[in-house]
Amino acid sequence: MSRVGKFLIARPTVNLGFFSKSTVFIYEENSKGTAGVALTRPTEITFAHLAQERGFGASVTAHAIYAGGPVNTSAVMMLHSEEFASSNTLHTGTGLNVSSDEIMLEKLAGGVDPVYFRLTVGASVWAPGQLDMEIARGAWLVANLDPDIVFSLSGEPQWTAAIESVASQTIARYF
């Protein structure tokens, strides 16, 4: 069963280093492994710095940048609603897509924003079978999440809301 479009929520009892109290969107899963972006932790990186680093000015500079994972930390990716697209958009078929290119950044710099989005640097990557083992050991909950939790909250409040959402979904299945 594919987990593309699902969210991993770190269980409260598990200390996962970078992933402790985190929420991760899975955007790709195949025979080579699983990839996602963590969405919980804001970084000190500014959008104005990213735009300047890439050689274009930004009329909009207030976008927060989150730590998407410990792998390829120079890669900028955006999880976003499906009405937005760029030249390198991965369509997940779930209502949320992932883009990663200069055109995406230029659009944001010019004020062309998706309805929902979160900018990240880095990725979260698991080797084949690795995530299955972590889930079997009880490290992760796997669920669908409401966009308000994903895009309106960050940090521990986002993680707490995700845990509460999974608890509500679980209880609803039994009653």
| Per-residue pLDDT tens over the stretch 115-157 | 999 999 999 999 999 999 999 999 999 999 999 999 999 999 9
Euclidean distance between CA atoms 1 and 171, whole angstroms: 22
pLDDT at position 58 over 70:
no
For residue 94, the model assigns a pLDDT of: 92
For residue 172, the model assigns a pLDDT of: 87
Closest to 6 in 3D by CA, of 135, 100, 127, 94 = 94
Euclidean distance between CA atoms 35 and 82, whole angstroms: 19
Q: Rounded mean pLDDT of the chain?
A: 92
Q: Average of pLDDT values for 9-15?
A: 89
pLDDT at position 60 over 70:
no
* CA-to-CA separations, 129 to 28, 31, 33, 134, in angstroms, rounded: 14, 9, 7, 9
Q: Average of pLDDT values for 75-97?
A: 95
The helix (run of H) or strand (run of E) holding residue 71 is strand 71-81
Euclidean distance between CA atoms 113 and 158, whole angstroms: 22
pLDDT at position 47 over 90:
no
Q: Which two tokens stand for residue 167?
A: 């608890």
Euclidean distance between CA atoms 155 and 66, whole angstroms: 10
- Homologous superfamily of the 7-174 domain (CATH): VC0467-like (3.40.1740.10)
Euclidean distance between CA atoms 44 and 139, whole angstroms: 28
**Domain segments of the chain as ranges:** 7-174
Q: Which two tokens stand for residue 47?
A: 């959008």
Calculate what percentage of the chain has a pLDDT beyond 70: 97
Kindly report, residue by residue over 92-117, the tens digit of the pLDDT: 999 999 999 989 988 888 888 999 99
Burial 130-152 (b: 16+ CB within 10 A, else e): ebeebeeeebbbebebeeebbbe
CA dihedral sign of residues 45, 153, 109, 91: positive
For residue 56, the model assigns a pLDDT of: 76
pLDDT at position 62 over 80:
no
For residue 52, the model assigns a pLDDT of: 81
Q: Which two tokens stand for residue 116?
A: 């929902």
